[in-house]
Structure 1
Amino acid sequence: MSLSVDIEKKLGGFSLRVQLDTDDAITGLLGASGCGKSLTLQCIAGIQRPDRGRIVLDGTVLFDSERRIDLPPQQRRVGFLFQQYALFPTMTVVQNIRCGAHALPKAERESVTREMIALLHLEGLESLRPAQLSGGQAQRVALARMLAARPRLLLLDEPFSALDAHLRDQLQPQLRTLLQQVGRQTVLVTHSRDEAYRLCSRLCILEGGTAVRTGPTKAVFADPQSVAAARLTGCKNLAEARRLDETTVEVPAWGIRLQTAAPVPQDLCAVGLRAHYFHPRTAANRFAVQPAGSMEEPFEWCLLFRYAGQNPGSDALWWRMPKEKKPAQMPAELGIASQNVLLLTRP
């Protein structure tokens, strides 16, 4: 199963420009609120019509502006799970699931409904209404209703946003297992880098309506390529930089020069240093530092520091570590390995 999306859409003052080609089981759309993630899903599902472009699902053209193809949502065989699940409040669990199978022959609806109840472990809840369900139960009912329609592609729009943190952590591995069982290609929208990393084998990062980085999830985290992608994947330390030679960059705001393992691109604009990668015994890129504060988290410490020659008006850098690794005082120097310098060529 493959999905190809190349679309543009203007909505008020907002412009969406997305290119995405994937045959991965779960592809994530990662970005901040308002970046165009949900709008992209709506265009794939046929809820919104792009201004131009093309959408192809496993060889079937869903939309093509030049050929004037625009299949209606019911013909696309795409399942859409909304953030709040959109269950019918006056219907029971069974009735909600049966609604998903309404396009199937009558004789098949009941068997499909029973199949979904067993698959989603909803036995004993059949006669309950949405208001009587927990958040996790409501999510499973919404998934069952969507799967009952036999979709070829699943679109999940922030499927954990309505759940508390504990339940979210419990349900993420369950959802991944379920999606593996049903064998449907999935596109999942999230604003959480942890959720994207755990669930998605491929990632498309959106910033201001534009896809700024696409690739295998681990590769995107290792080499985000843009400041926006580095920030969205959790990099705390970012600064403008300029290329000095093939393996040296200068960071004026920090007052340092960094050696890199990868060749420095000619169009370098910034660097990123992830907060977990500093170490007082690392010999590479080792500079004098001065303490600038600290923040305690439930299981980690964040020590803030500035380089000795750093611009006083620039932000302090973050050094994050497990609680048991916190030093009694800030070391005089910190280093970071050359392979851990992120080279960024776009804002």
Structure 2
Amino acid sequence: MSNRLLKVNIQKKLKEFDLDVDFELKKGCLGILGPSGCGKSMTLKSIAGIVDPDKGIVSLTMDEETVYFDSDSKINLKPQKRNVGYLFQNYALFPNMTVEENVAIGLSKNDDRKIVSEMIKRFHLEGLEKRYPRQLSGGQQQRVALARILAYGPDVILFDEPFSALDTYLKEQLRIELVNMLKDFYGFSILVTHDRDEAFQFCDELLILDQGKIIARGETHEIFEDPKKVEVARLTGCKNISKIEIIDEHHFKSLDWETTFEVSKKITPNITHVGIRAHDFKPGEKDDVNSINTTNATKLEMPFEWEITLENGLWWKIEKQMHNHDFEIPKYLKINPEDILLLEE
């Protein structure tokens, strides 16, 4: 297992920006998180061989190295030769083929036909073998697409926003199935998404992409806990972000919320903004450190949480029980100094 590596270092000129990504994956699932049109899908298509980069290298080592693409050596393997599974947003099933035939499409004459029935069973498609894609629900279509990919034993699976077309209930269900499937998958997987929950749930490591460039890379938990940059904080779901004026090493004035705060980390001169996650506020007292008055706050009831907006624009989110429709906003909120994110532009 030690000698395994997926290496991607590619450049491609696009209409809006230049794509320039360089990363290595040694294990598990990598998430590529970023806004729409930032180059996420283009990166996947370059790995799969659907799109040719202008220059660079894509290679896979599983004991031995296979070079998929190398502009200097003029190597460019066809998609069929790369042993890469690609789950498209629309699943790309063959409409004139049954479930069974779709699952078997990637197998060679020599492959054991038992694989198809194993995959049908594994993805709970029993009884649907003779149906056509148009006779299936979105969730069933996705299962067929996954079964087709796994049937031929790919080294790499690429997921291109796999849940974007599904309703919330189905999304939750299939996420759980996919998490379990990836636990047993020996190869590499990359998940492209603009959904921070998906990225957090699936991915051991995370790349944050913006305008074709990697702006953050690291372990998923670490990036969420300490995003370091404004755009990374935003993409990982931070609702409260403000420009600041530094007072001293541990105090700043928020220019958007017009409040002074204390932080536990040292504020270095490169820090221009701060972030506070909406769930990190706690009910407090007037004399607490980082105490905020909630006079004139407004509340909005959601099924499972209250959204409180303070007069200065800060957001607080707090969980609620479904049947509890009454909530009194405390007079003061507080934020622990260690929970404030220090951010660079």
Scaled by the length of structure 2, the TM-score of the pair is 0.90
Q: Which residue of 2 aligns with 1:235?
A: 238
Q: How does 1:131-170 map to 2 (within 5 A)?
A: 131-170=134-173
Query: Which of 75, 79, 82 matches 1:73?
Result: 79
Residues of 1 paired with 2:58 and 2:289: CA distance? 47
Q: Match of 1:276, as an amino acid?
A: H
Q: Which consecutive unaligned segments of at least 5 residues does structure 2 have?
A: none
Aligned to 1:208: 211
Q: Is the 8 A contact 1:281 1:335 kept in 2?
A: yes
Cα distance in 1 between the residues matched to 2:269 and 2:28: 35
Matched residue SS, 2:293: strand
Identity over aligned pairs, percent: 44
Q: Is the 8 A contact 1:100 1:147 kept in 2?
A: no
Q: How far apart are the structure 2 equivalents of 1:4 and 1:285? A: 46
* CA apart distance, 1:67: 3.5
Deviation at 1:231, TM superposition (A): 1.0
Whole-angstrom CA distance in 2 between matches of 1:68 and 1:258: 57
Change (3 A) 1:230 1:7: same
Q: Kindly report the root-mean-square deviation, in angstroms, between the aligned alpha carbons of the 2 structures.
A: 2.1
Distance 1:183 1:27 in 2: 14
* Letter in structure 1 aligned against 2:54: D
Greater Cα offset, 12-21 or 199-208: 12-21
The number of residue pairs the alignment matches comes to 335
The offset of 1:92, in angstroms, is 0.6
SS at match of 1:117: helix
Which residue of 1 is the match for residue 56 of structure 2?
53
Give structure 1 stretches of 5+ with no counterpart. 308-315
Higher helix proportion (structure 1 or 2): 1
What is the aligned partner in structure 2 of residue 82 from structure 1?
88
Judge conservation of contact 2:27–2:188 (CA < 8 Å) in 1. yes
Give the corresponding residue for 1:193. 196
Q: Secondary structure at the match of 2:141?
A: helix
Offset at 1:2? 2.5
Q: Does 1:323 align with 2:323?
A: no
Alignment of 1:74-113 (within 5 A): 74-101=80-107, 104=108, 106-113=109-116
Residue in 1 that maps onto 2:289: 284
Distance 1:242 1:70, change over 3 A: farther
- Contact 2:257/2:314, CA 8 A, preserved across alignment: no
Distance 1:258 1:304 in 2: 18
SS at match of 1:262: coil
Spell out structure 1 runs of 4+ moving beyond 6 A.
none
Q: Name the CA distance, whole Å, in 1 between partners of 2:52 and 2:193.
A: 22
Shift of 1:337: 0.6
- C-alpha change, 1:122 and 1:329, in structure 2 (3 Å) is closer
Who is 1:245 aligned against? Answer: 248
> What is the distance in 1 between the residues matched to 2:334 and 2:326?
15
How far off is 1:240 after superposition?
A: 1.3
Displacement, 1:172? 0.7
Alpha-carbon offset, residue 289 of structure 1: 4.2
Q: Does the Cα contact within 8 Å between 2:5 and 2:60 map onto a contact in 1?
A: yes
Q: Deviations for 1:233-258, whole angstroms, at most 9, x for unmatched residues?
A: 11110011244433233322222332
- Give 3-state SS (helix, strand or coil) of 1:271's partner: strand
**Secondary structure in structure 1 of the residue aligned to 2:96:** coil
Distance 1:23 1:199 in 2: 16
**What code does the residue aligned with 1:267 have?**
N
One-letter code of the match for 1:14?
F
- Residue type at the aligned position of 1:321: I
Q: Which residue of 2 aligns with 1:310?
A: none
Counterparts of 1:28-39 in structure 2, within 5 Å, are 28-39=31-42
Of the structure 1 ranges 293-302 and 113-122, higher mean CA displacement relative to structure 2 is found in 113-122
The alpha-carbon deviation at position 329 of structure 1 amounts to 4.5
